[in-house]
Structure 1
Amino acid sequence: MLCAISYGLVPNHLTDDQNDCMAVTTDNDTINVDQIVEQMIGKGSTVTKAEAISVIEEYEYAVVDAILKGNNVNTGLFKVYPSVCGVFENDEDGFDASRHSIKINLNPGKRLLEVTDRIELKKVEISSPQPIVQRFVDLKSNSINESFSPGQIASIKGSLLKFDAEDEQQGIFFIAEDSAETKVSEVVKNKPSELLFFVPESLTSGIFKVEVRCILHKGKTLKKGRLLNELTPG
């Protein structure tokens, strides 16, 4: 039985028309490896849970090893390829970790793309307002929802973004893969539709999620809004 993706509509501050709205997915579960394995063996497979987890681990190791060797990986589920980011001064310039970075790019494969037309949607009302993070712009490279430049200024656009800078629990947070959090300390502009700030200089490597936390006007509960895209230092 197919389940529907729940989505609601919120004001879109990235267009000139004040009536425009954008869709935000909500109340959708996140499935982990254990749950995927449970579904596999629940269909009557003769493979045990331990065997399935072992195979998945070996599969992931093989993919990582291929990328480490500089290869591209193309499967039915995804396409992965490394690339080099940053500006090179001339054709004799070489890779410098302080100015350049390696980025891992991930795109859906044929098998995933084929299911998009079969996904059911369910429109719901978003009854509890929360900050909406629509776009992250690295003003040094002009990249959008891809990368950031440590120590440089960046912009977040969306709605209901303004926060109380005096409250330690509110603000802009970069969240690493190990859940370590780095809070932005230098904010230039703090408005409901846009935040301008300096990216912490310490964020030189890794993959990060960006989250805005605030207590909305006349509210008491901390609300969180997260950019859907993951970002890397560029």
Structure 2
Amino acid sequence: MNKLNAWLRLNPLTEDRSDYMAAPVTNGSLTIADIVKDLQNEGMEIKAETAIDIITRFNRKVAERVLGGYNVNTGLVYMRPVIKGVFRDRTWNPAVNSVYVAMNQGMELRKALADTMVEILGEQSDPIAIYTLTDSTTGATDGTLTRGRNAELKGSYLRIVGDDPAVGITFRNIDTSETVNLDAADIVLNEPSRLLILVPATLAAGEYELTVTTQFTAASKLLKQPRSVTFSEPVVID
């Protein structure tokens, strides 16, 4: 049985004070190497380097096949290619057209979900949260962002304030763990429920964790210790 901890917070979309949402407690991020280490702790006899090489090759081949026009079912997820944008002149225009991979839960993931229980830890006070992330250029809300363009974050208690060195917005590359700190000057709008940022033009293509860290609170004093929230989906930079 899998166990997922969660905090309750009031639903900001309604005026009903009895309407709550559950926010999962995140325990950090894991890479392929972390998962392989877990497998070794469970008794897997394959060397870590060999396992990582196999998984990396598998991922590369899956990407190659799905972007070659195949629907791919890994058991965990089901993927299919999607072409986005309008074709007004009947030709491919990279300025408005792009390729996207749609993913749905596979059978193995659905079985794991059915075998998961949620433990409510209580009501979260002054909950910091990111509800939506929108690419201001394309309007995409699936986590894809455009380098050098604006992105909008909506949520609660997001305002970036405080002197702690950790305060700010970071992009952490999921594959390499390299972290890019957003320059304070690139926070165009800084409000408790809305941030407008300029996505760094120097970000390499890949998947990132977008994290907001702040000492903001509804009270007149700042938090002694900063708190963070990470967007629920990987941020994709093409």
Give the aligned residue type for 1:78: V
CA contact (8 A) 2:162 2:215 kept: no
Computed over aligned residues only, the root mean square deviation of the Cα atoms, in angstroms, reads 3.1
Greater shift in the superposed pair: 124-133 or 221-230? 124-133
Aligned-partner Cα distance in 2 for 1:82–1:166:
45
* Number of residue pairs aligned between Structure 1 and Structure 2: 223
Q: Does 1:80 align with 2:76?
A: no
Aligned-partner Cα distance in 2 for 1:129–1:110:
37
Relative to structure 1, is the Cα distance of residues 208 and 160 closer, same or farther in structure 2, using a 3 angstrom cutoff?
Answer: same
Q: Secondary structure at the match of 1:64?
A: helix
Residue 80 of structure 1 deviates from its aligned partner by 3.2
Relative to structure 1, is the Cα distance of residues 36 and 83 closer, same or farther in structure 2, using a 3 angstrom cutoff?
Answer: farther
CA contact (8 A) 2:9 2:127 kept: no
Alignment of 1:54-203 (within 5 A): 54=50, 57-69=53-65, 70=68, 71-85=70-84, 90-94=89-93, 96=94, 101-125=98-122, 131-164=128-161, 169-177=166-174, 178-179=176-177, 180-184=179-183, 185-203=185-203
Q: Secondary structure at the match of 2:206?
A: coil
Give the aligned residue type for 1:213: T
Relative to structure 1, is the Cα distance of residues 72 and 154 closer, same or farther in structure 2, using a 3 angstrom cutoff?
Answer: same
Relative to structure 1, is the Cα distance of residues 169 and 63 closer, same or farther in structure 2, using a 3 angstrom cutoff?
Answer: closer
The residue number in structure 2 matching 1:228 is 232
TM-score of the two chains, using structure 2 as the length reference: 0.76
Residue 220 of structure 1 deviates from its aligned partner by 1.6
Relative to structure 1, is the Cα distance of residues 17 and 149 closer, same or farther in structure 2, using a 3 angstrom cutoff?
Answer: farther
The residue number in structure 2 matching 1:44 is none
Relative to structure 1, is the Cα distance of residues 62 and 4 closer, same or farther in structure 2, using a 3 angstrom cutoff?
Answer: closer
Aligned-partner Cα distance in 1 for 2:123–2:26:
10
Relative to structure 1, is the Cα distance of residues 220 and 18 closer, same or farther in structure 2, using a 3 angstrom cutoff?
Answer: farther
Residue 212 of structure 1 deviates from its aligned partner by 0.6
Greater shift in the superposed pair: 224-233 or 180-189? 180-189
CA contact (8 A) 2:170 2:181 kept: yes
CA contact (8 A) 2:2 2:112 kept: no
Aligned-partner Cα distance in 2 for 1:87–1:202:
28
List runs of 5+ in structure 1 lacking aligned partners. Answer: 42-46
Aligned-partner Cα distance in 2 for 1:55–1:165:
43
Residue 49 of structure 1 deviates from its aligned partner by 3.6
Aligned-partner Cα distance in 2 for 1:18–1:196:
28
Residue 190 of structure 1 deviates from its aligned partner by 1.4
Relative to structure 1, is the Cα distance of residues 203 and 77 closer, same or farther in structure 2, using a 3 angstrom cutoff?
Answer: same
Aligned-partner Cα distance in 2 for 1:147–1:183:
17
Relative to structure 1, is the Cα distance of residues 28 and 107 closer, same or farther in structure 2, using a 3 angstrom cutoff?
Answer: same
Aligned-partner Cα distance in 1 for 2:49–2:10:
43
After superposition, the C-alpha distances for 1:17-75 in whole angstroms (9 at most, x for unaligned) are: 26343211116576622113432x3xxxxx6243x873564254134224224243212
Aligned-partner Cα distance in 2 for 1:159–1:49:
45
Residue 119 of structure 1 deviates from its aligned partner by 1.0
TM-score of the two chains, using structure 1 as the length reference: 0.77
Q: Does 1:12 align with 2:11?
A: yes
Aligned-partner Cα distance in 2 for 1:11–1:174:
28
Aligned-partner Cα distance in 2 for 1:59–1:204:
22
